[in-house]
């Protein structure tokens, strides 16, 4: 286990290095932010002065080395728009995104597991067909369409929930449901297929032959052995929700990391975008690492050396 942890830590360093290099290069191709920071009547001399102040007149490799050196010190630079620390701006928005992602995942899991289990136990029947049809629709509908549909029906027509902003539980329902629907649909289908595969195995037949109740067979043998691929997908979905809530946060004006990234990209605020992407990449690494460790507890046959 220690060797595995050490190897993953080394791999994580290379992944973060690759992410930082990729984002730095991509932002350089997006255009010069100096033009957006200066008034329309600015002179060439004004432009050169600002470029020198921001360090944009230096060679790209010097800018990148300065950027990576700042990361090692925990300094992602200052926002070109507000002048605040880029990392501080990201960390201020991160709790809102975590809140939205966690509730979305809880909704997805709370619905997906019962639906997937019922579909597997009633394979080919009306319950299975209805559940899988709904799951297919959930995976097919784009997030932006679903979010607007929720706003129109539950926010405007029925008036049950507020349509924008962050506040109490009522503000969280529609964006969390919108964000979690795709994961819920995919997880439900995965639970169903995983359980059907395990239910065909010999040890499940043996458990039933011993006289165990169907509930005991499903909970102790079938579901537990079908969890490995489900845990993988849930882990990836959790990390994806943290970094992929951009559309949902924009639709519902949720003050999270996604909206900050969109605004920063439009303003070409390089330090904030780089800090946000670095934090999201770190979240992916941490979640995937936690999933790998969880494998050995769910299935004792999984061992790391």
Please, what are the domains in the chain?
14-72 (no CATH), 92-298 (1.10.3720.10)
Instruction: Say what the pLDDT of residue 4 is.
Output: 67
Q: What digits encode the pLDDT tens for the residues 222-278?
A: 777 777 777 777 777 777 777 667 778 888 888 888 888 888 887 777 788 888 888
Residue 104 CA from chain centroid, whole number:
10
Out of 26-35, 89-98, 116-125, 183-192, least confident range: 26-35
pLDDT in the model for residue 125: 83
Predicted pLDDT at 7 = 76
Predicted confidence at residue 76, as pLDDT, reads 77
- DSSP bridge pairs for 85: 78
Burial class (CB in 10 A: 0-12, 13-18, 19+), 63: middle
Can you tell me the mean pLDDT for 24-28?
A: 72
In this prediction, residue 247 carries a pLDDT of 79
Q: Kindly give, in sequence order, each residue whose CB lies less than 8 Å from that of residue 287, ignoring residues fewer than 6 positions away.
A: 235, 236, 238, 239, 242
pLDDT tens sequence across 163-213: 887 777 888 888 888 888 888 888 888 888 877 777 777 776 776 777 767
Task: Give yes or no for residue 305 having a pLDDT over 60.
Answer: no
Per-residue pLDDT reduced to its tens digit, 145-157: 888 888 888 888 8
Q: What pLDDT is attached to residue 36?
A: 61
Sign of the Cα pseudo-torsion (101, 107, 108, 113, in order): positive
Q: Give percent of the chain above pLDDT 90.
A: 0
Q: What pLDDT score does 300 carry?
A: 59
DSSP string, 130-187: HHHHHHHHHHHS-HHHHHHHHIIIIIIIS--S-SSS--SHHHHHHHHHHHHHHHHHHH
pLDDT at 107: 86
CB atoms within 10 A of CB 229: 13
């Amino acid at each position: 286990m220690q060797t595995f942890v050490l190897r993953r830590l080394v791999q994580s360093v290379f992944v973060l290095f690759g992410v930082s290099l990729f984002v730095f290069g991509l932002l350089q191709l997006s255009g010069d932010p100096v033009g957006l920071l200066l008034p329309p009547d600015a002179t060439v001399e004004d432009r050169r002065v600002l470029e020198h102040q921001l360090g944009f007149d230096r060679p790209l490799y010097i800018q990148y080395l300065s950027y990576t050196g700042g990361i090692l010190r925990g300094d992602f630079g200052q926002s070109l728009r507000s002048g605040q620390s880029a990392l501080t701006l990201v960390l201020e928005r991160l709790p809102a995104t975590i809140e939205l992602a966690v509730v979305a995942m809880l909704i997805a899991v709370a619905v997906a597991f019962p639906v997937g289990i019922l579909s597997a136990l009633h394979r080919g029947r009306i319950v299975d067909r209805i559940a899988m049809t709904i799951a297919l629709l959930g995976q097919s509908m784009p997030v932006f369409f679903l979010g607007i549909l929720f706003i129109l029906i539950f926010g405007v027509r029925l008036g049950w929930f507020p349509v924008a902003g962050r506040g109490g539980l009522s503000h969280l329902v529609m964006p969390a449901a919108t964000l979690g629907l795709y994961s819920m649909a995919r997880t439900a289908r995965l639970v169903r297929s995983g359980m059907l595969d395990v239910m065909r195995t010999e040890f499940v037949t043996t458990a039933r032959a011993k006289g165990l109740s169907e509930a005991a067979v499903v909970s102790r043998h079938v579901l537990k052995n079908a969890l490995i691929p489900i845990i993988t997908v849930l882990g990836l979905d959790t990390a994806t929700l943290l970094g992929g809530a951009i559309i949902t946060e924009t639709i519902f004006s949720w003050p999270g990391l996604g909206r900050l990234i969109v605004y920063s990209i439009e303003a070409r605020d390089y330090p904030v975008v780089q800090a946000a992407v670095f934090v999201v990449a770190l979240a992916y690494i941490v979640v995937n690492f936690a999933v790998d460790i969880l494998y050995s507890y769910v299935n004792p046959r999984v061992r790391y050396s």
